[in-house]
Amino acid sequence: MKIATPYYLIDEKKILHNLQIIQQVHQLSGAKSVLALKCFSTWCVFDLMQEYMDGTTSSSLFEARLGFEKFGKETHAYCVGYSREDILAVVEFADKIIFNSVSQLEKYYDVAKSKKLGLRVNPGISHSHFDLADPARKHSRLGVTDKDVLAKQIPLLSGLMFHYNCENDDFDAFSQQLDAIGDCYGDMLKQLQWVSLGGGLYFTKEGYPIEKFSKKLAEFAAEFNVQVYLEPGESAITGSAELVTSVVDLVHNQMDIAIVDATVEGHMLDLLIYRLSAKVEVDDFENHKYMVAGRSCLAGDVFGTFNFKDKLEIGSEIRFADAAGYTMVKKNWFNGLQMPAIVVRRLDDTVEVIREFDYNDFKNSLS
C-alpha cells in the first residue's frame, strides 16, 4: 500500500525501545514516569505507552483532560496560570494539581484541597542550550523562587515539582544538580510525600548510564522519604517518528533545491524556532547535494542541505527523522497547506492510516 504524502509515520517498535528503558528505571529506582503531553499528544499510541508509564502530566486543562480520557492511570495537572473555570474542571479528574505560584495556590486552595497539591519550585539552576527554554532565565515566571515563602506553604502541599532541564544527557551534571536540590530543599521534602524532577533528562539516549541514574534516584527517594516522579516528554518518544514527504519541484539558485510537499513552519516548527536542521538519513560521502525546502511562502522555510545517493526527481520521497516530539503538537495551517496525515506502524508491523486531514479541517480551524 502506497500512502499519499505528506504524513507523519510513528513506529511503535521505536517507542517501545524507549518505554522499556523507562520501565527499567522504574524497576531499578522506584521512580514513576508520567508522559509530558505538551511534547507528544498523539493519542493513537497511548494504549501501548500506558502499559509502561504511570500516567501523564500536562500544561493546561485540555491536556490534562486528554491524559485522563485517553491515557488513564495518574493524571497530574500543571498550568502556568489557571483560571477559576480551569480549576473547577480539573478537580473533577486530576490526581494531583501543581500550581506555578503561591498566589495561584492561595487563590484556589479551597476549591482544590481535596486533591494532592504541589508547587513548582524554581531552584535557580538549569540545563538548557536555549534561552527560550531556560526556566532559570532572568525574570523567569516559572516556579517559586523565594525559599522562605515556599517554606510557609508546605503544610498545604503533598509535593514539589522541579523542572529545570532540557535535553540534558550529562549524568554527572544531573547528579550534581540533584545534590544541590537535596541540600537546599531536603528539609521541606522530608515533610512531603512526592517530588517531581520534571522532564528534559535524556536518559533514553544510547549510552546513558541507566544503572547509575537509577541508583541516584533511589538514594534521593530514600534520603528524603519521597516518591520520585520523572516527567519525560522527548525521552519517551525520541527517534520514533518520521515526516514523510515527496519532492514537488526542483529549482536551481546557485545550488540545487528540492521543494517538498510539507513545510518547516507548519509541520516541524521547532526547527525554525531553535534554528536547527532537519535530520535525513543519508551517507555523508554521497554526492548529490540539495537544499531541501518547504512549500510555504516563507523564504527561510528550509529543512536543511543534504547529500543524497541518487539524483532527486519529482516524486522522490524524503523522510525527516525525529518527527514525534514537539512536532505534531505544534502543527498549524499556515498557508493552508495540506496537513500531513498521521500513520502508525504497529508492533505487529501492520500500518494504519489513523487520521487524514482535508479542506474542512482547515476551514473549521477558523471561522
Ligand X SMILES: *Cc1c(COP(=O)(O)O)cnc(C)c1O
Check residue 234 for interaction with ligand X (CB under 6 A): yes
Is the CB of 200 or the CB of 266 nearer to ligand X?
A: 200
Which residues on neighbouring strands pair with residue 34, listed in sequence order? 55
What minimum distance in Å lies between the beta carbon of 207 and ligand X? 18
Check residue 118 for interaction with ligand X (CB under 6 A): no
Is the CB of 232 or the CB of 266 nearer to ligand X?
A: 232
Q: Interacting stretch for ligand X, rule CB under 6 A, among 88-96, 212-220, 230-238, 338-346? A: 230-238
Q: Interacting stretch for ligand X, rule CB under 6 A, among 31-39, 171-179, 334-342, 351-359? A: 31-39
Nearest CA among 240, 208, 225, 254 for reference residue 324: 240
Nearest CA among 148, 194, 174 for reference residue 55: 194
Check residue 239 for interaction with ligand X (CB under 6 A): no
- What DSSP designation does 220 have? H
Distance CA 161, CA 199 (A): 10
Check residue 166 for interaction with ligand X (CB under 6 A): yes
Check residue 163 for interaction with ligand X (CB under 6 A): yes
Q: Interacting stretch for ligand X, rule CB under 6 A, among 66-74, 144-152, 233-241, 299-307? A: 233-241
Check residue 340 for interaction with ligand X (CB under 6 A): no
Distance CA 53, CA 313 (A): 43
Interaction pattern, residues 67-96, with ligand X; x per rule: CB under 6 A: -----------x------------------
Check residue 119 for interaction with ligand X (CB under 6 A): no
Q: What is the Cα gyration radius of the chain?
A: 22
Check residue 267 for interaction with ligand X (CB under 6 A): no
Is the CB of 39 or the CB of 247 nearer to ligand X?
A: 39
Mention every residue, 6+ apart, whose C-beta is less than 8 A from residue 22.
33, 52, 53, 204, 230, 232, 235, 236
Angle value at C-alpha 233, between 120 and 222, nearest 5 degrees: 55
Is the CB of 162 or the CB of 290 nearer to ligand X?
A: 162
Give residue 255's identity as a one-letter amino acid code: M
Check residue 63 for interaction with ligand X (CB under 6 A): no
Containing 250, the helix (H) or strand (E) segment is strand 241-252
Is the CB of 117 or the CB of 337 nearer to ligand X?
A: 117
What minimum distance in Å lies between the beta carbon of 37 and ligand X? 9
Nearest CA among 103, 38, 46 for reference residue 76: 38
Rule CB under 6 A: choose which of 123, 232, 294, 340 binds ligand X: 232
Q: Interacting stretch for ligand X, rule CB under 6 A, among 43-51, 87-95, 231-239, 257-265? A: 231-239
Nearest CA among 124, 82, 122 for reference residue 99: 82
- What DSSP designation does 152 have? H
Between residue 178 and residue 217, which ones bind ligand X under the rule CB under 6 A? Answer: 198-200
Which residues on neighbouring strands pair with residue 350, listed in sequence order? none
Is the CB of 143 or the CB of 340 nearer to ligand X?
A: 143
Nearest CA among 200, 162, 158, 155 for reference residue 182: 162
Check residue 32 for interaction with ligand X (CB under 6 A): no
Contact status, residue 25 vs residue 217, Cβ threshold 8 Å: yes
Rule CB under 6 A: choose which of 235, 245, 296, 327 binds ligand X: 235
What minimum distance in Å lies between the beta carbon of 307 and ligand X? 30
Three-state DSSP state, 35: strand
Between residue 42 and residue 61, which ones bind ligand X under the rule CB under 6 A? Answer: 57
Check residue 39 for interaction with ligand X (CB under 6 A): yes
Mention every residue, 6+ apart, whose C-beta is less than 8 A from residue 217.
25, 29, 30, 31, 197, 228, 230
- What DSSP designation does 26 have? H
Binding site for ligand X (CB under 6 A): 36, 38-39, 57, 78, 163, 166, 198-200, 231-235
